[in-house]
A and B are shown apart, each in its own frame.
Chain A
Amino acid sequence: MNSTCTMTYVEAAIAALREEMQRDASVWALGEDLGRGGVFGQYKGLQNEFGPARIADTPISEAAIMGAALGAAMTGTRPVVEMRFSDFALCAVDELVNQAAKARYMFGGQARAPLVVREPVGMWGYLAAQHSQSLESWYTHIPGLVVLAPATARDAKGLLKAAIRCDDPVVLLEHKNLWPMRGEVANGMDALTPIGKADVARSGKDITLVSWSAMVHECLAAADILASEGIEAEVIDLRSLWPWDEEAVFASLRKTGRLVIVQEAVTTSGFGAEIAARVAETCHSDLKSPIQRLGSPRVPIPYAPLLENELKVSPQMITAAVKLSVRS
């Protein structure tokens, strides 16, 4: 089956979980307020369909949610953990980082922890410092974790399905701004997005823009503007941050020789730094101009819209960076 249909990112996420729960009786989800459909409607209708044991409401107990999911994952089930806002996952960092991420290795390969941690990320709705963060680089730093960040409805579905089938703990970052975004989604129980493969969201010969999650769309908007000025930007949507598709980035760079990395997270020590370092180590002779990184300054996220907007990367900032690169 290779037909497609159009749906929103949130509908795609619901469909993914529904299909995987139909396919595999060991899949279940746990988190706060899931019975009501989750904070963003990403569990809508599922408790009616699968019952409260498989779409489980929990106490406000993030450490127990994560720890219990690990225990259940090592005991023959595939839990999908809902953390509500990525910021609250920090209440369960021990359970994820010291426990789940290390269980397989530390126990000499005896354990598997097939759990998915869903974390809604990013600036959305002006919710300030404790409800808006993008902390992907915390997780890419941790051996044992898979880190995914879908930017489209297609990958919201395809990556959640792939994550559920993955035998290692996966952190799946779903951007709050993307829930209503529509896109073409592949039908079919086995229409997975492969983990570790980037998508060339737009091809071009003059410069490579590498991004993930919501910032992919800012890059595409910038590429439109640039095209009208005669600059052809290639936009790579990484989709997976660990493992990440180095080869896709290197191949694009060999063609364009120029690179701008765009992320919503704080630039300092962000995942963009890892990409820049690998490119510098590997493709130095292909580079025609210095690598640039765009992201948030190292500032907690403020509440007032006008202040929050100061931190966001805009298409205009991307086009400015591109022009700087193309001119040098």
Chain B
Amino acid sequence: MQKPEYDAELVHALGGAGLLTDQKNNPDIERLKDHYRQMLRIRAFESEAVRAIADALVPGFIHPSIGQEAVPVGVCAHLGRDDLLLSTHRGHGHTLAKGADAEAMMRELFGREGGTCRGKGGSMHIADFSIGMLGANGVVAANITIAAGAAHALKLRGKNNVVACFFGDGATNRGPFLEGLNWAKTFDLPVLFVCEDNQWSATTKTSAMLAGPGPLARAQSFGLAGTSINGNDILAVDEAAKNAVASIKNGGGPHFLHCRTYRHGGHTGTDPAAYRDAAEAETAMRDDPVATCAQLLRKADISESSIRAIEEEATAEMRRIKDNASHAPWPDKRIVYEDVQDLGAVEAGR
């Protein structure tokens, strides 16, 4: 097969996959500021969403990703609008980083009109097909085979795009992980598998349930190229994702990124995570992606006030969005019967 040309147009406005040079010593400041902004937007969005639970604005479950923000931001910085994304139950970060409208997302969490899924999905099923976000998922690991299929279609249609598929460490114990990775490699498909390893599967420590050296070794056993990185280091994620996406777009086949990170809160927005060892949590949370990024900005002589300004802007944006969403109207009841199927769908008034 002829190697496809690298298509620069498809690279995200954030700077593009080719622009990073010696990031550690000489980071691109505007890019770093942008990363910081995106991470804070995710954190502010989820903080507002968690607070909204107490205000009884969120009918269902949410699974916050606070503490894990560098992974979606670093990865999605290398995705263009036409690249695709499949997410999980813990998907707000991925969705925001891919460029979804934050207010539509908040409206979805609140079950209001104007939500990304018209109030039919909620947090666990947020999707925005207009930006290539093919859905969060309520079933752990189910997105992995779907991602392989999306990539299969891209290949059949001759597109030079990638599919990014996020999942947790716990998901690597499900069958679809094996089947999806094997599929992607066998058919040589453009998938970037991103394992966000936060050490926990709901309330169970994943290491107690996982045989062998872990997710990366499993991926490598199928012949996938991959690396394990500190997922709380935005530069490390940015660099690894750059290389991975470039390799995939140059015909290198599926790629695996194992990102070590930590979930600061509980499994859901109301879980106090009392089952977690306090010392473990404290140590892990010291490696906070947002704080690390702020440090990098300081080192690059960005003033405290500009750093603060970015934070305040993100907080204000999400506060406004929560306020708007909380005043949004409820959906029209009749939509419950819409979008079931074309033939034989039920009408209102059963």
Residues of A within 8 A of B (CB): 32-33, 35-36, 57-64, 87-88, 91, 125-131, 267, 297-300, 302-307, 310-311
Expressed in whole angstroms, the Cα–Cα distance for A109 and B122 within the complex equals: 47
Contact A128 B336 (CB under 8 A): no
User: Could you say which of B119, B125, B141, B350 contacts A129, with CB atoms under 8 Å apart?
Assistant: B125
What are 21 A-B pairs with beta-carbon distances under 8 A? A32-B202, A33-B202, A36-B204, A58-B209, A59-B170, A59-B209, A61-B175, A91-B139, A91-B175, A126-B59, A299-B340, A300-B120, A302-B120, A303-B119, A303-B122, A304-B119, A304-B122, A305-B111, A307-B120, A307-B331, A310-B336
Contact count band on B: 35 or more
Nearest-neighbour CB distance to chain B for A44, whole angstroms, equals 13
Nearest-neighbour CB distance to chain A for B107, whole angstroms, equals 10
User: Could you say which of A131, A302, A305 contacts B138, with CB atoms under 8 Å apart?
Assistant: A131
Chain A contacts for B156, CB-based, 8 A: none
Is there a chain A Cβ closer than 8 Å to B112's Cβ?
A: yes
Contact A57 B208 (CB under 8 A): yes
Q: A303-B122, A304-B330 are in contact. Are A60 and B140 (CB under 8 A)?
A: yes
Q: A36-B275, A131-B138 are in contact. Are A125 and B173 (CB under 8 A)?
A: no
Chain B contacts for A300, CB-based, 8 A: 120, 340
The residue in chain A whose Cβ has the minimal distance to the Cβ of B330 is A306
Nearest-neighbour CB distance to chain B for A87, whole angstroms, equals 7
Give the dominant DSSP class at B's interface: loop
Expressed in whole angstroms, the Cα–Cα distance for A58 and B202 within the complex equals: 12
Is there a chain A Cβ closer than 8 Å to B337's Cβ?
A: yes
Nearest-neighbour CB distance to chain B for A162, whole angstroms, equals 30
Q: Closest 6 interchain pairs by CB?
A: A304-B111, A303-B122, A130-B138, A126-B59, A304-B119, A59-B173
Contact A306 B139 (CB under 8 A): no
The residue in chain B whose Cβ has the minimal distance to the Cβ of A125 is B60
Nearest-neighbour CB distance to chain B for A190, whole angstroms, equals 35
Chain B contacts for A304, CB-based, 8 A: 59, 111-112, 115, 119-120, 122, 330-331
Is there a chain A Cβ closer than 8 Å to B174's Cβ?
A: yes
Contact B124 A130 (CB under 8 A): yes
Expressed in whole angstroms, the Cα–Cα distance for A298 and B125 within the complex equals: 20
Is there a chain A Cβ closer than 8 Å to B183's Cβ?
A: no
Q: Mark B257-291, 1 if CB is under 8 A from A, else 0.
A: 00000000000000000010000000000000000
Nearest-neighbour CB distance to chain A for B57, whole angstroms, equals 11
Contact B201 A60 (CB under 8 A): yes
* Total A-B pairs, Cβ < 8 A: 121
Expressed in whole angstroms, the Cα–Cα distance for A60 and B140 within the complex equals: 8
Contact A299 B174 (CB under 8 A): no
Contact A57 B209 (CB under 8 A): yes
Contact B139 A305 (CB under 8 A): no
User: Could you say which of A32, A33, A298 contacts B340, with CB atoms under 8 Å apart?
Assistant: A298
Expressed in whole angstroms, the Cα–Cα distance for A157 and B187 within the complex equals: 51
Contact A59 B210 (CB under 8 A): yes
The residue in chain A whose Cβ has the minimal distance to the Cβ of B340 is A299
Is there a chain A Cβ closer than 8 Å to B121's Cβ?
A: yes
Chain A contacts for B3, CB-based, 8 A: none
Nearest-neighbour CB distance to chain A for B49, whole angstroms, equals 14
Expressed in whole angstroms, the Cα–Cα distance for A300 and B345 within the complex equals: 11
The residue in chain B whose Cβ has the minimal distance to the Cβ of A302 is B120
Q: Could you say which of A125, A126, A303, A306 has the most chain B C-beta atoms within 10 Å of its C-beta?
A: A303
Expressed in whole angstroms, the Cα–Cα distance for A62 and B139 within the complex equals: 11
Contact B61 A125 (CB under 8 A): yes
B residues 195-229 near A (Cβ < 8 Å) are 201-204, 208-210
Chain B contacts for A297, CB-based, 8 A: 337, 346, 350
Chain B contacts for A310, CB-based, 8 A: 333, 336
Q: Mark B114-146, 1 if CB is under 8 A from A, else 0.
A: 010101111011000000000001111100000
Expressed in whole angstroms, the Cα–Cα distance for A302 and B112 within the complex equals: 12
Contact B174 A60 (CB under 8 A): yes
Is there a chain A Cβ closer than 8 Å to B335's Cβ?
A: yes
Contact B124 A127 (CB under 8 A): yes
Chain A contacts for B170, CB-based, 8 A: 59-60
Nearest-neighbour CB distance to chain A for B36, whole angstroms, equals 32
Nearest-neighbour CB distance to chain B for A151, whole angstroms, equals 24
Expressed in whole angstroms, the Cα–Cα distance for A313 and B349 within the complex equals: 13
The residue in chain B whose Cβ has the minimal distance to the Cβ of A61 is B173
Chain B contacts for A58, CB-based, 8 A: 209
Is there a chain A Cβ closer than 8 Å to B32's Cβ?
A: no
Contact A126 B122 (CB under 8 A): yes
Expressed in whole angstroms, the Cα–Cα distance for A33 and B331 within the complex equals: 36
Is there a chain A Cβ closer than 8 Å to B171's Cβ?
A: yes
Nearest-neighbour CB distance to chain B for A176, whole angstroms, equals 13
Contact A302 B119 (CB under 8 A): yes
Chain A contacts for B208, CB-based, 8 A: 57
Contact A299 B201 (CB under 8 A): no
Chain B contacts for A129, CB-based, 8 A: 120-121, 125, 138
Expressed in whole angstroms, the Cα–Cα distance for A59 and B214 within the complex equals: 13
The residue in chain A whose Cβ has the minimal distance to the Cβ of B211 is A59
Known: A300-B120, A310-B336. 13 other contacts (CB 8 A): A32-B201, A57-B209, A61-B174, A91-B139, A127-B138, A128-B120, A131-B138, A299-B336, A303-B122, A304-B120, A304-B330, A306-B111, A307-B335
User: Could you say which of A61, A64, A125, A128 contacts B125, with CB atoms under 8 Å apart?
Assistant: A128
Chain A contacts for B174, CB-based, 8 A: 60-63, 91
Chain A contacts for B336, CB-based, 8 A: 299, 302, 307, 310-311
Chain A contacts for B330, CB-based, 8 A: 304, 306
